[in-house]
Every structure is written in C-alpha cells, then in structure tokens.
Structure 1
Amino acid sequence: MRRMIATLTGAAAAALIAPALVAAAAPANAQPARASAQPAQTDPVSALKSQFKLHRGVRLAENAKIIGEGKKQRAIFNRRGGVLEFGTSGVVASDVTDEFTLPGADKELKGLFGPSRTITVKGTTYTSGGFYADSMPEGKKWLRAKGGTVAPGNPAQQILNPLEPATLKAALAHTATRRPGGTWDGARTVVHSGTITLGELYKVSPTVRALLSGKPSAASATLPVSWKLYLGPDQLVRRAVSSWTQSLRGLTSLDMTYLNDSRYSGWGVKSAIKAPPASQVADFDDLVLGEEQTEDPFVRVFKD
C-alpha cells in the first residue's frame, strides 16, 4: 500500500484537527491489584493525585466516533483500550491497542486503518501495526517516535483528559449540573456536566497542546467542548464523555464532530510497562516508503 508516513507520526491527529484551529501565525498486560479501602474524598483533584504512585495505574476502555460531512455523511469508529501507568506526577507510561471501523470505506483505506498497539514509556512512543505495518523493514515490528501524549493517528481520543489534575480542576469549575450517574466499575456515581472552551483547555492541558500543535486562533478558542464526568464515592473518575465540533470548511468543506466515551476502572492496578526489545525497533529513517500519498487519510474517508 502506498503511504506518506511522514504525515502519520505522533502528530497525525493534528494533521486533521490543527489546520482549522491554530492561528495563522502559529507554527498492556497488567494484573489488577486488590482494591484498598479508601475514605471518601471531598476533592476530586486530591483523590486523583493520591493515585500517582510508581507502578500503579488505571485501565482505559475508550469508544469514539468521528462524524463528517463530505460527499455524504460518514463516520469513523474507534475503540481503544489498555493500561495507563502512573508516576509521582501523573501518567508516565501506557500500553494501548487501537482499532478503527470505517463503514463503506474501500479495501485500501480499511487496510491503512488496521489495528495497532502503542507503548509509550519515558517520553518515547512505539507503535506496531496500523499505518506503519507494511512500511517496516524486515525483522522490525515497532516504529519509534519521540513524544507520547497523543496516540498516533487518533484525533477522536479524549480531548478532555480527566487524568490531568489541572484539566480536571478546570472542567469541574464549569459544572452546570449534578445528578446520579448510575454504577460504573462497581461504584455508584454522580455525574457532573458542563462545557469548557477549547482555549481554556489549551491553557491547562498538555494533551490538548500536543493534539493541536499550536495555539488556537481567536475564533477556535471559543469552541465549546461539552463534557460529563462520572465520579465515584471516592471522587475518582469512572467515566468521562466529551464532544465538540469543528469546521474544516475552506480546507476540506467538512464539519467534523468528535464524540468520546472513556471508562476508567481498576484504579491502583499494578503495572510495569517496558519498551519493546531494541532488536525489533525501527526509526522513521528506516522505513521502506512507496509513492507519497499527500492527502490526509482521515479526511479522505469522508471525501470518497
């Protein structure tokens, strides 16, 4: 399959999102730990920080959908799951798998969006499968790239990251309603809901800054992100739902809506994520590239 790997690095999400948002001047195999009894916390941010311990983490199960208007309305579905490992200041490593579903897409596109596994550790991301599978040199399985906040090629990942204390605090400051949220991960929850602007998220969230790769324009900074956070009696997040819409009109004549539903379970799970064996790792300079494909594959889905 012919690809342009250079556009599908850890900034691949920005290739779809950033152009319409950034100002013109801006350039798994973890075993669960026995849940320990915790007193109820009145402060969700403090409750989150109390989980930041070496070799402990939380399980992630994420479902997302990108809806776009091209020649016809089409959607991309994404399922992502694995383990996020904490250090003393937040998430320091992750081991997640990604799988995309593209209803009605041609065989080539479906192959391009094949399943992938991504390991991020010590600021470096290693990806196996997905965009890079048939461009890897013989005997190599993992593609290495620096930076690991954003999963490669996944613009539908959770834009409001509730595992960042500053982001969690900023979102909850915009709480408009509270109500019973049902039971998640065995805990009865209260769902807090509200909206926050993209500009506000950019100021506090490393995830959003990595995703956009530049400061939002004045117009884009006002885009509302709707959110719901389901908090258990220990004030830990069990579910986070977010949605937002951006216009790519003038670039691709598309309006794109991103819907994300992330579930967090097994708080305190034991984890010791390691980088893949060096003998199986390749860098971008090692890739066997064919003819360039200059059009972003996510956009192409909606134009076909």
Structure 2
Amino acid sequence: MKDIAIVGAGGWGLALGLLLNEKGNNITVWCYDEAEKNSILQHRENKRCLPGIKIPLEIHFTTSMREALSDQEIVIIAVPSKAIRATVNLMKDYIAQDTIVVNVSKGIEEGSLLRLSEVIEQILPNKVVVLSGPSHAEEVARHIPTTVVVSGRDMKAAENIQDTFMTKFFRVYTNDDLVGIELGGALKNVIALAAGTIEGIGYGDNTKAALITRGIAEITRLGVAMGGNPATFAGLTGIGDLIVTCTSGHSRNRRAGELLGRGYTVSEALDKVNMVVEGVPTTKAGHELMLKYEIEMPILNAIYETLFEDKSVKESINDLMQRDKKSEHYY
C-alpha cells in the first residue's frame, strides 16, 4: 500500500486514481478550485470529464497543494500540457525530493519546445517517470483491458511505477526511450485532428488508413531527428496510441477535427468539445520543431495551415494528394 497524490481531477487523473485505489493505495486528488472539488464531492463523479463513473468515498479531495503532496511516495501529474509549468511551480515547495513524479499528460511546451518531462525536471529535482499509450480514461475506469508503457531517465523508478499500476486489466511495459515515448504520445494528437477532418468532410476508410500510415512515418521522422528510437514508434506510444486516437469516439482531438471538417471554425469546434484538445497547441509546437529540425512533415504542415492560416480542409487534402510523386519509405 502506497500514499499517492494525483494532481488534476480530470477524467484521466480520476481513472488512474480509481485503479490505484482498487489496489489498496491511499489516494489524494488535488483539484484546481473549490467549485470543481465541491461538485465532485456532491455527485461523487466528474460529470463533465468522466460521467457515470462513481468515485468511492475513501478517495480524498483537496484544493491545498500542501495537503495533497504531504508525505506522498508517488505524485501523478494529470493536468493539461499548457498548465504543466505553472502547476509544477506550485508543487515545488511541498514535494519531498525522494517522491517519484509520474507525468501522464501528453504534449510539447509551446515556446520552449521542451518535452513535458524536461519542463518538470527544470523545476523539480525528483525522479520523473512518463506513462503513455493507447488509454482512454472512460475505458480504463470501466476495467476494459488496456496496455501502456512507462519510461524515465531512472529505469528503476519506471519499474517501480510499472509494479504500482499493473492490474489484471491494466498492463504496463517499460521502455528506456523517453524521447520517443513522449514525442509519440504528443504528436499523435495532431494526426487525430486530421483523422477527424476526414470523417467530418465525408471521406472514407481508404483516406483514414493512408493518413494513419503516413502520419506515423512523419512522427517517426521527427522523433528520430530528436534522438528517439524508430522502433518505439511502432509500439504502444506510437502506432498504438495513433490508432486509438484516430478511430475512437472517445477522442476529443478526433471530435474537434470532425467539427472542422464539417465547417466549424477552430474556436467553435473547441467550444463544442468543451474539454482540452491537446492537438491544437501541439500542432503549433510540432510545426516549430519541423522547421527547427528541417524535417518534411506534409500532414502536420497541412493541419497547421488549416488551424492557423485559415486554409480549407478540402484544399489541404487536395494539396497533399497532388504533391510530387515519391517512393514509399517508413520514415
């Protein structure tokens, strides 16, 4: 039995809290504000992010970071990527140095272009482990078999987290390619936006299969340039996460893309989804990385132009289809 804090009371943080609570651990969840905490305590569920999933009374909720992080063996960060730096700055005065920090958010920090573990390590001296893979909160909370992967600079810490999270329905692998795991988990959200636009505009399975296949090639190309192992992108945090995010109705990135394909503006699509759509800021950061490393990423560039340069979805797809002929390469 371990004392574990979860920073963030959204769907993914709560799903992991339920899993760890069922294993007999003591779980404390930090909420961003009193209104969020009071709503969860009143209804024993997060009606917006994880409706229909009841939260047991033994899970404790607080808005005090001091209370949440006091004497914890493990702290899980489950906030949107854009909030990582500000949240970790709130944590730094209260977390013990021997506490293992587990980041389960996916993204790239805008501006700095740092991976999220790098942002955390800039602020905290703790060992940082990343958990990633094809894992919708709605399914994990309902005990639907799920497989993920963990990585970190300290693989003994990663193995500790592997043991902590493993259940009969939640299988955890280790992988020492921290760069590849973080980039795969972040950039798949960009391709998921594109997959949604294909649905919204009315194209079919042929188009989606081409997108997923060429999308993972682009992700691998950039990942290798940044130091990742190409084999990682054929695994859970690469093609696995890409498949689930591009095809599932649970995917908020795919839903946002579908609305774009149906003619909604970016702001209208985000308002309608009403949850964080990580693919939008990641597209901007990914585009900057593409330019920095001089990597050819036509799909990422097309979704960037659709999101930020008002290019129509149909025009973007037509331009992709009519590019100069090439030989196929994996990356």
Q: TM-score by structure 2 length?
A: 0.23
Give the TM-score normalised by structure 1.
0.24
**The structure with more strand, counted as a fraction of residues:** 1
The higher relative CO (CA closer than 8 Å, separation ≥ 6) is in: 1
